[in-house]
Amino acid sequence: MECNRTIGQVVLPVFYDVDPSEVRHQTGEFGKAFQNALNGLKVNEFMVPKWRETLRHAASLAGFVVLNSRNESEAIKDIVQKVAHLLDKTDLFIADHPVGVESRVLDMIQLLDTPLSNDVLLLGMWGMGGIGKTTIAKSIYNKVGRNFEGRCFLANIREVWEQDVGPMNLQECILYDICKETTTKIHNIESGKYVLMERLCHKRVLLVLDDVNKLDQLKALCGSRKWFGSGSRIIITTRDKQIIKGNRVNQDYIMREMNANESVELFSWHAFKKATPREDFAEISKNVVEYCRGLPLALEVLGSYLFDRPVSEWECVLEKLKRIPNDQVQRKLKISYDGLNDDTERDIFLDIAIFFIGMDRSDVVHILNGCGLFAEIGISVLVEKSLVTVDNKNKLGMHDLLRDMGREIVREIAPKELEKRSRLWFHEDVLDVLSDQTGTQAVEGLVLQLTPNAKCFSTKAFENMKKLRLLQLSGVRLDGDFKYLSRRLRWLYWNGFPLTCMPSDFDQRNLVSIELENSKIKLVWNEMQRMENLKILNLSHSHYLRQTPDFSNMPNLEKLILKDCPRLSEISHTIGHLHKIDKLEEDIEQMESLTTLIADNTAITEVPFSLARS
């Protein structure tokens, strides 16, 4: 008992045919036996009070009471299980600096501890790579695992599954960890399912399935709740929400990024070996932490990389990160991209990463469908795989590091040959390609933002970009024949369009979206082309626009934006041909010169309140 008091040694008292209260107070039959023992021993009288206190302490500990009425073999079994449980040293390493772990673990444990505690519950953890799913799952495993008859943490399922006998090895790992079976060999997945069900159906277990990326993995490792005993808990971590959809899990937990304070602390532990940045590194640390956007993986990797480096090298690293992501972070995040089903999903991801962050989901679906990319399902898959988000305003979003990962994938295809990249977005790269007129058929998309009238390029720079689908310009002037622009162009976004009219030699028949915000345009088209594919026409902030185009040539137009066009005084009667527009944008009120709007025979059922009121 002295070792229990001084060093915490575990003591499990067994009260064999004696009541613990008699031991605590030395009464009853035990008290008599104890007194007789004292009478028969020649002991120092100062030792007796110490012995009595030791007995009181032992009797106060949780132990085992074995009375005559109880089956001794059952009692021995309970004692052995308890000792084995206490000797279980299979806790998992969490992290040197588990910042922010505890609060997330408590959230998860609350989900596990439901009124349905005797049922078999499945809990899904969903989030992007590097956000800490495995760390949280390990911590839960350590914290509550000993409350179960058996426990198993299957790590890196995605990787192990692809090995020759990976599925069977995973099934055998469950048997070994929970049932301590070493002799059972599983020869195929189906027989493994039967063995697991047979061995586990009466056991209350904790099973953690880490990094699941295929439904077949779930079917092989936890095919049914009937496989497990009452009160069992199964935790699934995944990057793919599809895995935990529907009735596959009872609860799901969306992993959240670290907040600002957590981010600074985690980064500081790795960069400075303390909880806060050094004073002379405070400002640049803030910049690095901001770049990481609450992603634990990036905070740890960059913090460790920058440890003990001078400020000048930190500054150099930050500049480099603007062009080239950290390789360790890139590899981890790219796993989700590599796991996409086909090239259409990969193209959609890359297009969003470079062109469409912050844009309306419906608009992007129209544009990418026009490119033949099946965007409705494609974007849903990207959301499920934690690569893209859609907010409550239907705007597409993406974590900055995922955005950088996508851009690096494009850059890696041709690191030193700009013209061979499928998409061009980096300012200096685009300037070089347009100035030198080195564009090729490889280029499918291009972004260039300049201050107004800062530079003028020849349209001939686009002559060889035969596959150009997406063109995003701002403050750019183009001189020459517009016939050089690709017929495959589906999206034209040109902020500050400098001409007063769309060029007649520009083949626009395949365009899905034309966005000419802040343009100098007065009349959209002199010679109107038939534009069957046009879904979106945005002429907002075009202060010189006087009349709308003839809408009869764009029968599939679904979205018309005329925000802040103060000189617009005439809307073509052909607006009646727009049977797919059912709502005019609220900002039509800023068309100060418009006095009459006739929308007979249209599908428009709603006009802005401000317009109706005026």
Virtual torsion, Cα 324, 327, 330, 335, nearest 10 deg = 150
Task: Grade residue 112 by pLDDT with cuts at 50, 70 and 90.
Answer: confident
CATH number of the structural domain spanning residue 175:
3.40.50.300
pLDDT at 598 > cutoff 50: no
Q: What is the mean pLDDT of the chain?
A: 89
Q: What is the pLDDT of residue 115?
A: 65
Is 456 within a domain?
no
In a domain, 549, yes or no: no
Q: HSE (CB half, 13 Å, CA atoms) of 511? A: 22
- Whether 382 is in a domain gets the answer yes
Same domain, 6 and 47: yes
The last residue of a domain, from among 374, 405, 436: 405
606 falls within a domain: no
68 with 17: CB under 8 angstroms?
yes
Domains in the chain: how many in total? 4
CA pair distance 134, 144, nearest whole angstrom: 16
Q: Which pLDDT tens digit goes with each residue over 127-177?
A: 999 999 999 999 999 999 988 989 999 999 999 999 989 999 999 999 999
Indicate if 216 and 312 belong to the same structural domain: no
First to last CA, the chain: 89
Q: Residue 116 — very low, low, confident or very high, per pLDDT cuts 50/70/90?
A: low
Domain match, 152 and 244 both: yes
Res. 599: pLDDT tops 60: no
The verdict on 264 and 250 lying in the same domain is: no
Ramachandran angles phi, psi of 470, nearest 5°: -130, 125
Return the pLDDT at 7: 62
**Domain presence at residue 349:** yes
The range of the structural domain enclosing residue 357 comes to: 330-405
Domain closes at, from 376, 405, 434:
405
Asked, for residue 571, whether it belongs to a domain, the answer is no
Same-domain check for residues 336 and 317: no
3-state DSSP: the chain helix, strand, coil percent, rounded to 5?
Answer: 45, 10, 45
Residues 243 and 113 in one domain: yes
CA distances from residue 373 to 3, 222, 348, 379, 386 in whole angstroms, order as listed: 70, 35, 7, 10, 19
| pLDDT at residue 531, as a whole number | 92
Check whether residue 43 and residue 139 sit in a common domain: no
The pLDDT-based confidence of 605 (bands split at 50, 70, 90) is low
Does residue 300 share a domain with residue 180?
no
**Tens of pLDDT, residues 496-514:** 999 999 998 998 899 999 9
Q: Are strands 536-538 and 513-515 parallel, antiparallel or unpaired?
A: parallel
According to DSSP H, which parts of 62-165 are helical? 72-86, 101-112, 133-144, 157-161
Res 602 pLDDT > 80: no
The two tokens of residue 485 are 């622009």
- 114 vs 85, higher pLDDT: 114
Q: Name the DSSP letter for residue 583.
A: B
pTM greater than 0.85: no
Report which of 202, 149, 137 is spatially closest to residue 180, judged by C-alpha positions: 149
pLDDT at 41 over 80: no
- Quick check: is 431 in a domain? no
Here the CATH number for the domain that contains residue 338 is 1.10.10
Q: How far apart are CA 254 and CA 252, in angstroms?
A: 7
Overall average pLDDT of the 366-381 stretch: 97
- Same structural domain, 268 and 377: no
Length of the chain: 614
Identify whether residues 244 and 268 lie together within a single domain: no
Q: How confident is the model over 251-266, as a mean pLDDT?
A: 96
322, 339, 364 - which closes a domain: 322
Q: Are residues 237 and 278 in the same domain?
A: no
Q: What is the rounded (10 degree) CA torsion for 34, 36, 39, 44?
A: -10
250 in the same domain as 176: yes
For residue 559, is it within any domain? no
CATH of the domain at 29: 3.40.50.10140
